[in-house]
Amino acid sequence: MEMSSRETEYFFCFDADRIGEQIELFFMSDDIGAARLFSEKVDHAMDKVSENMESLGARCVFRGGDSLVFHSPTDINENQICHVFEDITFSVGIGGTVQAASLSLFKAKALGRCQIERVFA
Q: What's the CATH fold of domain 10-119?
A: Alpha-Beta Plaits (3.30.70)
Q: What are phi and psi of 22, to 5 degrees?
A: -65, -45
Predicted local distance difference test score (pLDDT) of residue 32: 96
Cβ pair 10, 60 in contact under 8 A: no
Is pLDDT above 90 for 7?
Answer: no
- The neighbouring-strand residues paired with 117 are 93
**Residue 67's closest CA among 9, 112, 15, 7?**
15
pLDDT, tens only, 22-65: 999 999 999 999 999 999 999 999 999 999 999 999 999 999 99
* Mean predicted confidence (pLDDT) in 81-108: 96
Is pLDDT above 60 for 3?
Answer: no
pLDDT, tens only, 59-78: 999 999 999 999 999 999 99
> Which pTM does this prediction carry?
0.91
Indicate the SS3 state at residue 40: helix
Q: What is the spatial distance between Cα 43 and Cα 29, in angstroms, rounded to a whole number?
A: 22
